[in-house]
Amino acid sequence: MEMQVERTRDLAEGEEVTILDTSAPGRPLVRDTPLSGPIVWDRDTLAADDGIIHIDDEALAEIDAFVESLRRNPLPTLLLTPSDFAMPRCVAMMRRARDILQDGVGFVILDKVPVQRYSLEENRAIYWMLGQMVARPVAQSFDGKMIYDVKDQGRAYSTSVRGDTTSKDQNFHTDNNYNLCPPHYVALFCLHPAMAGGINSIVSFYSVYNEMLKRHPIELVERLYQPFLANRQREHYPGDPMVLSRPLFTYDGDWLNCKLSRHQTLSGYHLAGQELDPLGLQALDALESIMREERWNREFFFERGQIQIVDNRRCGHRRTGFVDYPEPERKRHLLRLWLRDEGRRSYHG
């Protein structure tokens, strides 16, 4: 992929904003016919148990045995690999999960790990092991963080603050859409749910895309394949471009892939001192308007011990704002993994 760097205005004294252009040369391939398959779903077509995998007694027994082995033979979590432990039932369960992610509805909810039996570090180890059975974990920050704690840190949501460190509601988005190589799958493991709020939702971009084709002229759809700016949130080497230019949709003839965040897109234009063109804003608004309709959402309240995994290229996710319990030990706490079998394991891939 050809990358170009464009220099823009100064952000502060001595600091220059640059844009990293990752758009492919030439006219993009645009899908102008509806998509099909199990990934195309809405509330009327999605069965109550679609994407749900119950962790059975045999798998739970393997998890118990794994934890007991770890207690007797401690190792750092990041050194643990499934090949070193006998967990065939869990391996089969996570292969089924991957099949649903790739060829099914594009999301999985594992129900559930009995987190109360284990320590925090033991739950991290269980999660690390199960995640590797789907795909390879990769870094979630420039400093190489592999297992990410999703907690409200009391910070105000801004262009330089990740939404996952706040209690604010989120728009539908794909994780790391402002980076060169986003994860293929995003997994979230609920250690403690919120006292109120924090409702999770998943949307199929394929269903939303079909609705875009139905409601809007093709010119508006085509704009989604053209470049949009995104704020990289300073997750890069000092002096590297602070803004990424990339299309929201790409199509290779088989798969439609999405990189979406309204917040990061608009803040990218703000950071670069540019205005999003009217057609681009209209296309972004049209996409958001459809996704906000309840018909296209799969909602659920995270229960303690549940694991959600989504295809980060074909599904979006969000959560509503939430209120925490007053006790520090009961505050909403999720663990996140980014999974991707392509590229390097570093943040930029």
DSSP state for residue 106 in the 8-state scheme: S
The total number of structural domains that make up the chain: 1
40 domain-assigned? yes
Buried (b) or exposed (e) across 89-126, using 16+ Cβ within 10 A?
Answer: bbbebbeebbebbeebbbbbbbebbebeebeeebbbbb
CATH number of the CATH domain containing 157: 3.60.130.10
Report the alpha-carbon distance of residue 191 to residue 301 in Å, rounded.
Answer: 13
How does strand 315-319 pair with strand 196-197?
A: unpaired
Q: What is the pTM of this model?
A: 0.93
44 domain-assigned? yes
138 in Cβ contact with 340 (< 8 Å): yes
Confidence label for 1 from pLDDT (cuts 50, 70 and 90): very low
Q: What is the pLDDT of residues 221-245, one digit of tens each?
A: 999 999 999 999 999 999 999 999 9
Q: What is the pLDDT of residues 316-334, one digit of tens each?
A: 999 989 898 889 889 999 9
Q: Which of 6-10, 254-258, 300-304 has the lowest mean pLDDT?
A: 6-10
Check pLDDT > 90 for residue 2.
Answer: no
Q: What is the pLDDT of residues 124-136, one digit of tens each?
A: 999 999 999 999 9
235 domain-assigned? yes
Tokens representing 349 are: 């891939």
pLDDT reported for residue 142 = 95
Q: Mean pLDDT for the chain?
A: 93
Report the alpha-carbon distance of residue 10 to residue 16 in Å, rounded.
Answer: 4
344 domain-assigned? no
3 in Cβ contact with 254 (< 8 Å): no
138 in Cβ contact with 101 (< 8 Å): no
Tokens representing 270 are: 């703000």
Closest CA to 179 of 337, 1, 349, 9: 349
pLDDT reported for residue 169 = 81
pLDDT reported for residue 35 = 98
94 domain-assigned? yes
The CA-based dihedral angle spanning residues 306, 311, 316, 321, taken in that order and rounded to the nearest 10 degrees: 20
Confidence label for 156 from pLDDT (cuts 50, 70 and 90): low
pLDDT reported for residue 6 = 59
348 domain-assigned? no
137 in Cβ contact with 321 (< 8 Å): no
Higher-pLDDT residue of 159 and 184 is 184
Q: Which residues pair with 52 in a beta bridge?
A: 109
Tokens representing 50 are: 């679609």
Higher-pLDDT residue of 4 and 68 is 68
Q: What is the pLDDT of residues 92-143, one digit of tens each?
A: 999 999 999 999 999 999 999 999 999 999 999 999 999 999 999 999 999 9
Higher-pLDDT residue of 3 and 34 is 34
Check pLDDT > 80 for residue 155.
Answer: no
Mean pLDDT of 79-89: 98
Report the alpha-carbon distance of residue 259 to residue 178 in Å, rounded.
Answer: 8
Q: At 126, is the secondary structure helix, strand, or coil?
A: helix
313 domain-assigned? yes
Q: How far lies 124's CA from each of 49, 287, 337, in Å?
A: 27, 36, 10
pLDDT reported for residue 163 = 63
pLDDT reported for residue 322 = 86
pLDDT reported for residue 158 = 53
Q: At 291, is the secondary structure helix, strand, or coil?
A: helix
Domain span at residue 256 reads: 17-339
9 domain-assigned? no
Mean pLDDT of 78-94: 98
Q: How far lies 258's CA from each of 61, 88, 297, 335, in Å?
A: 38, 34, 17, 24
